[in-house]
Amino acid sequence: MAATTAPKRILVIEDNEKNRKLFELIVRSMGYKCLLAVDGEEGIRIAAEAIPDLILMDIQLPHMDGVTAFRHLQQGEGTKGIPVAAVTSFAMKGDRERLLAQGFSDYLAKPIDVDELRRVIGRLLEESRHGE
């Protein structure tokens, strides 16, 4: 018999408390475990320690922006294969293409559309499972 499957873990890197709580609520409502980080440095540290199944990365972060934090993750042996979805509050034409070209697995614009967030999480976790 297969061992009991542990719940997938999603790391949310987001400096805005309200958004962090919203992400956490949605992630937990889907039955996944939610890890939280308030900035890029903390996110990189938690990602390296926990190796989550998926990361939701706010792009507008203090100290280190989300694109820079993502580059650090891509250079980490344990973290480079983790799918990372970019979340941005200044949705401008071309954002999506630019972020996907930089290697992000998907893109979400704030204000967060809950249904779209659920779809993106479901899709990326499904893809990562196929990679196992």
Q: Which positions lie near Mn ion, rule CB under 5 A?
A: 15, 58, 60
Least Å distance between CB 109 and Mn ion?
Answer: 13
**Smallest gap from residue 27 Cβ to Mn ion (A):** 17
User: With 0-12 CB in 10 A as exposed, 13-18 as middle and 19+ as buried, what is 130?
Assistant: exposed
Residue 27 or 37: the one with the smaller Cβ distance to Mn ion is 37
**Least spacing, CB of residue 66 vs Mn ion, in Å:** 8
Helix or strand or coil: residue 42?
helix
Residue nearest to Mn ion as judged by C-beta position: 60
Sheet with 9-13, strands from edge to edge, namely 33-37, 9-13, 54-58, 84-88, 106-109
